[in-house]
Amino acid sequence: MKRTISAMVGKGSLNHNSREFYAPNVDPSRSHLNVEFCKEDIRTVYHELFDAAQQRYNARQTRSDRRIADYYTKISSSKQEKPFHEIVLQIGNKDDTGIGSETADLARQCLEMYVHGFQARNHTLRMFSAHLHMDEATPHVHIDFVPYITGSKRGMDTRVSLKQALAQMGFVGGTRSATEWNLWVQREKQVLADIMREHGIEWEQLGTHEEHLSVLEYKKQERSKEVKELDSAIAQKRTEVEKIEDTLQAVQKQVVDLDKIEAVSAKKALLSDRVTLPRSDFESLFHAAKQYVVYRRQDEQLQKLLDAAQEKIRQLESVLNSLKEKVNDLTNRLAEQTSHHRQSLMLERARRMQMEKENTRLKREKAGMVALLRKHGIVWKENLFTERNER
């Protein structure tokens, strides 16, 4: 069984979502089947998220006109950000997943599982309202959330920002089609598709080129991040190796003072094979012996560390080279898909232009034919024509 997944930007009508009022397409007799996952007052959520940051920001301001009285009011009147965003997800359509069908019940189960994992999966999107609707044509879910970031260097250190909130989760846009939102939505669709698969439903991708390009962009982006992390790890390991090598060389240069040892004179004891030494000479020899043992141990330990670090670098470089090959492959595939997409668009535009010309020509011919029929007393009626009764 295959079903499509639709993801749309919602209007954010909270009263409609919670059925404070009913739109014409809603069947109130089925509203008891709806599921309300959460419904919090957005102002309360704003106090929870931003009050502390607002206080810190205001404390730094020397001018009273720069202090923020109410952050929710400020964002509500902003031209750059919205107080909250909404995503609407639906499985199938009214023809194949209509309310009352067995598939609709499976879709409901899948959407419920999806919503339950939403907050843990999207830590910078504070979900405050989520509703599953079973009183319209097809099961679908509305999720409303406040996107926010922490550690901001501009304005309040915790503030509203959809673009940066998605970026902090790893969704960085790069092209017109691969925006932060599109990349995130594609990931969310894949999450829902995985849940659907567990319920025996396969994701039917009707396939726009933009969707496929977004997937490739996301994969390329993830591999590039891994490459950067490995580059950093290798650089760190090389720094450790350099320090170990410097220490090893310093230890190896530390030699025992041979002049002092050669100056030691031993005297044979009477009636014995033993020799006697002055205390100062004995202490010099004892100190030299201890130094030798310590340096030898340090030398062996440092050599082991050096060998382990170099082996780790070799392993990291091997993984890095593999990832770079994947990035290059994704880059090439992305370029091919982009070229194919452009060619398809050009062909589609040419086909449409040809159809418009053909349509214009047919309209002219039809007008001429209608005029000719009228001249002969025949009335044209959309594929039907009758002879006018002139009597």
Look up the pTM and report it: 0.56
Summarised one tens digit per residue, pLDDT across range 120-133 is 999 999 999 999 99
In this prediction, residue 295 carries a pLDDT of 60
Q: What is the pLDDT confidence band of residue 226, given thresholds at 50, 70 and 90?
A: low
The long-range contacts involving 366-372, CB below 8 angstroms and separated by at least 24 positions, are: none
Q: For residues 69 and 66, give the distance between their C-alpha atoms in angstroms, rounded to a whole number.
A: 9
In this prediction, residue 284 carries a pLDDT of 66
What rounded mean pLDDT belongs to the chain? 80
* Interstrand relation of 35-39 and 125-133 (parallel, antiparallel or unpaired): antiparallel
Cα torsion at 111, 185, 162, 167 (round to 10°)? Answer: 120
Q: For residues 191 and 114, give the distance between their C-alpha atoms in angstroms, rounded to a whole number.
A: 7
Q: Is the pLDDT of residue 390 over 50?
A: no
Give the range among 57-61, 211-215, 273-277, 278-282 with minimum mean pLDDT: 211-215
| Mean per-residue pLDDT, 331-343 | 73
Residue 121's Cα: distance from chain center in Å?
10
* Interstrand relation of 378-381 and 202-203 (parallel, antiparallel or unpaired): unpaired
Helices in 254-278 by DSSP H: which ranges?
Answer: 258-262
In order of 100, 168, 280, the CA distances from 145 in angstroms are 30, 16, 81
Higher pLDDT, 254 or 320: 320
Residue 20, helix vs strand vs coil? coil
